[in-house]
Amino acid sequence: MSDPLIIVGSGMAGMGLARQVRARDARRAITLITADSGDEYSKPLLSTGFAKHLPPARLAMRSPLEVAEALSAVVRTHTRVEAIDPRERTLGIGAERLAYGDLVLATGAAPSVPFTWDAALHDRVFTINDLDDYRGFHAALSRLGPGARVAIVGAGLVGCEFANDLLAGGHRIALVAPEAAPLARLLPPALGRVLGGAMHDAGIDMRLGRTVASLQRDGEAVALTLDDGDTLPADLVLIATGLMPRTELADAAGLETSTAGIQTDRYLATSAPRIHALGDCACVAGLNAMYVQPLQASAKALAATLTGTPTPVAYGAWPVVVKTPLCPVVALPPRQSPARWRIEGDGSDFSAFAEDEAGRLLGFALTGGCVRRKVELARAAPPLLP
């Protein structure tokens, strides 16, 4: 039997890779190690669960035991890898040293929060980036019942999706963000305003252009003080201010990293021999896409590489579908700054085309009824990683 393959992280990247490797090699020893509960789940569904009143148990597709059995793999849960020794090819978990033949880092990304709050607010202030977080937030919300006041901080994909979903689930929502319009990294401002208008019209208290100055307990609730001095009362606060690739393990082991993630080439190889990385933690040939399709393509290519067929990964022109039924949004943000955004449409149905000087399509954004142009435009746009 060949040297064991150890995968750190059991999110969609780690789990997807294990599945692909097992499909190609029935005998390889595979160990999945995860700091969380190890349930298999689809992370994108976390921001659609409240409208459907889905308890966390309904989102867990397979338990770690079922995963281990289905993949003939060892799955170690609630286990944090603390160190890597690339020379000895070992991992450190407390005093334990675990030898690997190949190591894959699929450690994801962690919420990045630009302010702090009192630890005493732990039962009121949340981030949701995995199923365990969802369990905690869901339990707190269930204790409050329908009509709870939820303040969401951050108007990126995660903040907007949860705002729409929690509103649909019967709660009262406020959205606070420093940008003038939602989804600033995905949409030109004119289209962001279309989504913002739809959220406002649906009853979401939109506090755009505002940051949070402080969070304080106010009896059983939380008072958010904004930078204009206004105070917003909330039963729960959900912070969605962005994600940072988890690179600490790689950093400490001397691997090449940047704020965009663990640096890899097209083969998902890091700067250290026999160590690969994929998913939200990895910056592949200069790009960290942080979406499902790129990590699925990476898992497929890496599985081929690890089973004897070196395969570079390529990403297509894969648009992001934002799950805001109040105003559907699809976007393929351009990789380089466009010379202009050409915008057409009216009402809530807009198409925006990011173009270079010569009028070539670099990316696009669509709202409302225009989202049906997704496939046609994706065919015309350049791939993310050719």
The residues that touch ligand FAD, with contacts defined as CB under 6 A, are 8-14, 33-36, 43-44, 46-47, 80-81, 106-109, 129, 158, 161, 246, 249, 279-280, 290-292, 295, 323
Q: Which is nearer to ligand FAD, 111 or 209 (CB)?
A: 111
Give the nearer residue to ligand FAD in terms of CB position, either 34 or 257: 34
13 versus 301: smaller Cβ distance to ligand FAD = 13
Question: What are the CA-CA distances from residue 354 to residues 91, 121, 335, 339, 341 (Å)?
Answer: 45, 43, 10, 8, 5
Is residue 234 classed as helix, strand or coil in its secondary structure? strand
**Which residues lie closer than 8 Å to 238 by C-beta, 6 or more apart?**
126, 127, 128, 137, 150, 151, 152, 153, 159, 162, 166
> How far apart are alpha carbons 160 and 170 in whole angstroms?
16
Nearest Cα residue to 10 out of 90, 105, 103? 105
- Shortest Å distance, C-beta 331 to ligand FAD: 11
Q: How far is the CB of 65 from ligand FAD (least distance, A)?
A: 16
Rounded CA separation 163/150 (Å): 9
CA 321, 325, 328, 334 torsion: positive or negative?
negative
Q: Please give the C-alpha separations between residue 114 and each of 73, 92, 223, in angstroms, as whole numbers.
A: 39, 31, 18
Contacts of 57 (CB under 8 A, 6+ apart): none
CB of 14 to ligand FAD, least distance (A): 6
Q: Which is nearer to ligand FAD, 212 or 297 (CB)?
A: 297
Q: Where are the alpha helices (DSSP H) in the chain?
A: 12-24, 56-59, 64-71, 131-144, 157-168, 189-201, 248-252, 292-306, 374-380
Please report how close the Cβ of residue 278 comes to ligand FAD at its closest, in angstroms.
Answer: 7
CB 66 → ligand FAD: shortest distance, Å?
Answer: 16
14/368 with CB nearer ligand FAD: 14
Least separation in angstroms between residue 294's CB and ligand FAD is 8
| Residue 321 CA: distances (Å) to CA of 59, 153, 328 | 20, 21, 8
Shortest CB 43 distance to ligand FAD, Å: 3
Task: Using the minimum distance from each CB to ligand FAD, give the nearer residue, 285 or 292.
Answer: 292
Please tell me the distance from the alpha carbon of residue 245 to that of residue 227, in angstroms, as a whole number. Answer: 28
Give me 127's structure tokens. Answer: 């981030």
The distance of closest approach from Cβ of residue 79 to ligand FAD in the complex, given in angstroms and rounded to an integer, is: 6
- For residue 93, the cross-strand partners are 96
Choose between 290 and 313: whose C-beta lies nearer to ligand FAD. 290
Q: Which is nearer to ligand FAD, 249 or 331 (CB)?
A: 249
